[in-house]
């Protein structure tokens, strides 16, 4: 609102886009096109200021997490850290878990849920998260 960002919570009478695609195969193409347009809108949204954490900072904090040190060698963590460090710095909105199961379809409109991973960074991160879900 105004120059500030926030999250709105509301009760939804809707279904996931994932379920809609499966349950309405005749509308599959329409839903996929809505998903693509939604991704374009999301990934061209520029975040002003530093109210939202950067993707790089989020990934760095995960690499510092005790769990990562239990499952990865110090050498592997160093390699991952070097990859994160080479990522471009951008202020583009990134959802962090952008798959059809985290998108609700209500009255023909798409709405994101599960906003716990929202950052600002490179949109390719969302594309990669879709390919592994």
**One digit per residue, pLDDT tens: the chain, 133 residues?**
567 666 666 667 788 999 999 999 999 999 999 999 999 999 999 998 888 999 999 999 999 888 888 999 999 999 999 999 999 989 999 999 999 999 999 888 999 998 888 999 999 999 887 765 4
Q: What is the pTM of this model?
A: 0.80
Cα 15 from Cα 100, distance rounded (Å): 10
Other Cβ atoms less than 10 A from the Cβ of 129: the count is 17
47: left (phi over 0), alpha (psi -120 to 50) or beta: beta
Q: How far apart are the first and last CA of the chain?
A: 32
Rounded Cα–Cα distance for residues 17 and 43 (Å): 18
User: To 5 degrees, how large is the angle CA 95–CA 124–CA 122?
Assistant: 70
């Amino acid at each position: 609102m105004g120059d500030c960002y926030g999250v709105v919570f509301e009760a939804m009478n809707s279904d996931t886009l994932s379920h809609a695609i499966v349950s309405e195969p005749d509308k599959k193409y329409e839903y996929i096109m809505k998903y693509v347009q939604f991704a374009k809108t999301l990934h061209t949204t520029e975040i002003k200021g530093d109210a939202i954490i950067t993707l790089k900072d989020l990934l760095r904090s995960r690499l510092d997490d005790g769990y990562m040190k239990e499952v990865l060698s110090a050498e592997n963590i160093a390699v991952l850290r070097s990859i994160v460090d080479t990522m471009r710095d951008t202020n583009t909105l990134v959802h962090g878990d952008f798959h059809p199961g985290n998108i609700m379809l209500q009255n023909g409109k798409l709405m994101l849920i599960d906003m716990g991973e929202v950052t600002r960074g490179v949109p390719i991160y969302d594309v990669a998260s879709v390919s592994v879900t």
